[in-house]
Structure 1
Amino acid sequence: MVSGGGKIKSRFRSRSEHILDSKGRLSFPSRFREVLRHIESDILMITNWGKYLRAYPVAEWEQLETKLLTDGKAQPGMQNFVRLIVSSVTECIPDKQGRILLPPTLRNEANLRKEVVLTGMLDWVEIWDKDAYDATHQATRDNFESYEEKLSKIGIF
């Protein structure tokens, strides 16, 4: 995809498995750090997203906040959702070794133990407990055909 100015927009892609250290630090993959360098951001905004955490570059996070402030107000019952994700958000900056510190509150909310999976979701990165990720991934694989109609509607299938 090409963004304004003819530059190719970097995206978060792929999946990798990691081990949280005893302090709750996580090695953020070099390919993901390269995306941050490309978009000239060294800060990740990480928040609770139900069963996992979401990590956004600052600009993407600010776009999400703007949508919540504008479009979200028109949706009944959104205040509790906004409270959940905005009150949980934490700024994380990868250290020189490329590690990010996940605070205990976020680790507990997403039930992150030792083994985690990071998966690129184009504009953000998901951070899952490995067992939860494996179960969700398998369920998606088992129901792959159920996506055919939706993929066809957007011209992919």
Structure 2
Amino acid sequence: MGILGKPYFRGQSIHRLDAKGRLRIPTKFREVLQNHYTDALVITRMGECLLAYPPEEWEKIENKAREFSQVQPEHRAFMRYFISSAEECEFDNQGRILIPPFLREEANLTQDVLLAGVLTNFEIWNKSTWDAHIKLDKDSYQKIMEFMAGTGL
């Protein structure tokens, strides 16, 4: 579980997609899954990256989404975009998952892929897209750190 004692996805890892679109999930992320969740993932799209959830965390999202209005346009749009693109991905014997082609295309995943742990899930990015976002987002980090320290916002 690590020294922090909580079963969260933390840190970053760079990997390569193979020719079939399979991605090796880092050991530290696999250990969180194996020790605290089902050893599988639900992957969906969000902006320019993909989000990977343990099935137990994904179920919480689906439970909330079930309460959405069937007629409110924003709710319907969310369901079409986020929920309808979700795919269950199981691991092979080598700790890889096959990312479906439409999701690879959506996130522009070609070869170099960055996985970023964000607590209850992790993001899957095209490495170049990640680098560009990190540079653009630097200004907002200071404001958030001030908020976290209790001095801002």
TM-score, normalised to structure 2, is 0.87
* Distance in 2 (alpha carbons) for counterparts of 1:127 and 1:54: 6
Match of 1:73 in 2: 69
* Residue 43 in structure 1 maps to residue 40 in structure 2: yes
Q: Which has the higher helix share?
A: 1
For the aligned residues, what is the CA RMSD? 2.2
Q: Secondary structure at the match of 1:141?
A: helix
* Residue 141 in structure 1 maps to residue 129 in structure 2: no
Select 2:113's aligned residue among 107, 111, 116.
116
For structure 1, the residue ranges without an aligned partner over 5 or more in a row are: 1-7
Alpha-carbon contact 2:37-2:54 (below 8 Å) kept: no
Q: Secondary structure at the match of 2:93?
A: coil
Amino acid at match of 1:107: R
* Distance in 1 (alpha carbons) for counterparts of 2:69 and 2:25: 34
* Distance in 2 (alpha carbons) for counterparts of 1:102 and 1:35: 20
Q: How many aligned residue pairs are there?
A: 148
* Residue 52 in structure 1 maps to residue 49 in structure 2: yes
Amino acid at match of 1:115: D
Match of 1:89 in 2: 86
Q: Secondary structure at the match of 1:22?
A: coil
How far the C-alpha of 1:76 sits from its partner, in A, is 5.6
TM-score, normalised to structure 1, is 0.85
Residue identity (%) = 44
Q: Segments of 4+ in structure 1 off by > 3 A?
A: 72-76
For structure 2, the residue ranges without an aligned partner over 5 or more in a row are: none
